[in-house]
Amino acid sequence: MRQVFVMANTRFFLDERKASSGKPGVLKVAIAHMRRTALISLDVKIFPNQWDKKKLRVVNHPDRLQMNVYITTIKQQIDSSLLTLANEGRLMSMSVSEIKTFIDDRLHPERLEAKQAAKRKANSFVSRFLRFADSKKPSTRGVYMQTYKRLVAFESEHLEELRFEDLTGEWLTRFDSFMAQTAPSKNARNIHLRNIRTVFNEAIDDEVTTFYPFRRFKIRAVPTKKRSLKLKELRTLFNFPAEPFMQYYIDIFKLNFMLIGINMVDLCRLKKIESDGRIYFNRAKTSRAYSIKVEPEALEIIERYHGQDWLINILDHYKNHNDFTRKINKNLQKVGPLKRVGRGGKKIYTPLFPQLTTYWARHTWATIAANELDIPKDVISHALGHGNNTVTDIYIDFDERKVDEANRRVLDYVLYGKK
C-alpha cells in the first residue's frame, strides 16, 4: 500500500509509545516530503500485536474488517490529495506541514468548516473593531468603545455576524440616520464614522477584505463655530470680580491660556518646573515630547495652587482630569453678574459666556496670535504642538525661542496692552 509521488510519499505508522503502559497505540499516516515528515492521526487505536507491519493491515481485532476498509479508504484519499497537488504544480512549493493541513482539511470537511467559521468570526467587523480598540491607549480606546455602544444599539441582533462587506454605503447612511436621533451634531457623528473607516483601512492593510464603502460614502464635516473669545471678552473674564470658589476656575483657565492652551489632561499631570524654567511633558493626545516656558504670570498662579503630588492641585481633589474638566466648564459657563433671590438667597447667575470651555483658551491664544499680532502660522502651529507632521519638519530643528517670544508677545498684549 505504498505509493510514491514526486518528492512525497506516504506510509502507515503505529505509534507504540503508550504500549509500555498497556494502552493501545494510534495508527497514523506518515507523509514524507523534502526530507521532512508530518503525521496524520487516524481514528484507529490498536495494540502492537494487532498490527501487521509487513502487510500494513489490522489483525487479531474483532473489528479488523471495518478498520482495514477504513484505513484503505483513508490511504486512497491521502494519495488522491497528493496527486491533485502534484498535477496542479503546487506540491513542490509546499512544506510538509502545509501538505498535512491541506490533507487534513479534505479528510475532515466538518473541521475545515469549523475552522473557517472561527476565522470568519475572528475577522468579522466587530471582532476586528474590538481588537483594534484594545490595542490603543485608554483615552483612544474609550472613544472607540463609545462607537461600539452605538453599533450595539443599531445592530443589536446581528452585530456579531456582520462582515466588512455588509457595511455598504446604504448601511452607513442608515447608521448615521440612527445616530442623528440622539446626536444632532454631524461632526459628533463623524467621529464614529471615522472610527469605522479606520478599522476598514487596517483590515485592507491586513488583506482581510478589499471592500471599501468610503470611496463613495463621504464623511463630510460641518464648519464649526469659532470657539474663541475676543480680546475685550478675554480681558473681561480675566478681571471679573468673581466669588473665591469661582475665581479658582477662572485662574485655571487663565493658566491654561498662559501655557499656550495646554490640554487639560496634560495640565493635570504636570509634575514640576525644571531648573531652566520650562515644563516638559509628552502630550497625551499625540505622545510627542513638548515643552513650554513658564512666564512669571503663569508661575504666580502655579504657586497659588501648587499641588502635593502634582504641579497644580487639581488631581489632589479630583479623581481624574475628566471629572475636573466637567466641573470647570460648568462653572466657567456661570461666570457673570450674580444676584440672590428669595429667603434662602438662591444664586442667580447671568452668564457672560454661556458656551465657554477650557478648550476656548487654546483657540483664543491662536486667534490673538494670528489676527492681532501677525505671528507666523508656522510658529503658532509649533506653539500648539502641531509640528513634526511633515517631511520638512524632520529636517528643521524648530527654534523654541520663537514660540517663547510668541507667547510673551501674546501675554504682553492681553495683560498690558503692549504690542
In one-letter notation, the amino acid at residue 252 is I
- Residue pair 392/398 in contact (Cβ under 8 Å)? The answer is no
Cell 470568519 found at: 120
Quote the cell numbers at residue 308: 502635593
**pLDDT at residue 1 above 50?**
no
Mean pLDDT value across the chain: 88
- Rg of the chain over Cα atoms, rounded to whole angstroms, equals 35
SS3 percent helix, strand, coil of the chain, rounded to 5, is 55, 15, 35
Backbone angles phi, psi at 204, to 5 degrees: -65, -40
| Cα–Cα dist 144/136, whole Å | 9
Shared domain for 325 and 369, answered yes or no, is yes
Least confident of 124-128, 225-229, 290-294: 225-229
Backbone angles phi, psi at 237, to 5 degrees: -65, -50
Shared domain for 21 and 82, answered yes or no, is yes
Backbone angles phi, psi at 63, to 5 degrees: -105, 30
**pLDDT at residue 4 above 60?**
no
Shared domain for 158 and 292, answered yes or no, is no
Query: Using N-to-C axis directions, what is the helix angle for 244-258 and 231-238, rounded to 10°?
Result: 140
- Rounded to an integer, the average pLDDT of 77-99 is 88
Backbone angles phi, psi at 26, to 5 degrees: -100, 130
Strands 338-341 and 57-58, how do they pair?
Answer: unpaired
Shared domain for 384 and 333, answered yes or no, is yes
Shared domain for 208 and 242, answered yes or no, is no
Which structural domain, as residue segments, surrounds residue 293?
231-416
Give the helix/strand (H/E) hosting 144.
Answer: helix 138-154
| Cα–Cα dist 181/204, whole Å | 31
- Rounded to an integer, the average pLDDT of 98-113 is 81
| Cα–Cα dist 183/308, whole Å | 40
- 215, 243, 266: which is the final residue of a domain? 215
Shared domain for 395 and 261, answered yes or no, is yes
- Rounded to an integer, the average pLDDT of 328-343 is 88
Shared domain for 249 and 389, answered yes or no, is yes
CATH number, domain containing residue 272: 1.10.443
Q: Is residue 113 part of a domain?
A: no
Report the sign of the C-alpha dihedral through residues 360, 364, 370, 375, in that order. Answer: negative
Shared domain for 199 and 274, answered yes or no, is no
What are the E-state strand segments in 69-153? none
Shared domain for 186 and 287, answered yes or no, is no
Shared domain for 362 and 283, answered yes or no, is yes
Of the two residues 133 and 3, the one the predictor is more confident about is: 133
pLDDT band of 123, cuts 50, 70, 90: confident
Report the candidate in 380, 369, 367, 378 with the shortest Cα–Cα distance to residue 409.
Answer: 369
Q: Based on the structure, what is the number of domains in the chain?
A: 3
Q: Is residue 14 part of a domain?
A: yes
Quote the cell numbers at residue 56: 500494513
pLDDT 10s digits, 169-226: 999 999 999 999 998 889 899 999 999 999 999 999 998 899 999 999 999 888 766 6
Cα dihedral 329, 334, 335, 336, rounded to 10, equals 160
Total residues found in the chain within this entry: 419
pLDDT band of 114, cuts 50, 70, 90: low
| Cα–Cα dist 181/270, whole Å | 40
Percent of the chain with pLDDT over 70: 92
pLDDT 10s digits, 303-323: 999 999 999 999 999 999 999
| Cα–Cα dist 410/301, whole Å | 17
**pLDDT at residue 344 above 80?**
no
Q: Is residue 314 part of a domain?
A: yes
Close Cβ partners of 249 (under 8 Å, ≥ 6 residues apart) = 327, 328, 331, 332, 335
Quote the cell numbers at residue 76: 486512497
Shared domain for 192 and 337, answered yes or no, is no
pLDDT 10s digits, 278-301: 999 988 877 888 899 999 999 999
pLDDT 10s digits, 248-276: 999 999 999 999 999 999 999 999 999 99
Q: Is residue 386 part of a domain?
A: yes
| Cα–Cα dist 411/260, whole Å | 10
Q: Is residue 117 part of a domain?
A: no
Q: Is residue 273 part of a domain?
A: yes
Q: What's the pLDDT score for residue 7?
A: 55
In DSSP terms, which residues pair with 28 in a beta bridge? 13, 41
Percent of the chain with pLDDT over 90: 58
Give the helix/strand (H/E) hosting 157.
Answer: none
Q: Is residue 281 part of a domain?
A: yes
Q: Is residue 112 part of a domain?
A: no
pTM for the full model? 0.59
CB count, 10 Å around CB of 237? 22
Report the candidate in 169, 213, 172 with the shortest Cα–Cα distance to residue 189.
Answer: 172
Shared domain for 237 and 297, answered yes or no, is yes
**pLDDT at residue 392 above 80?**
no
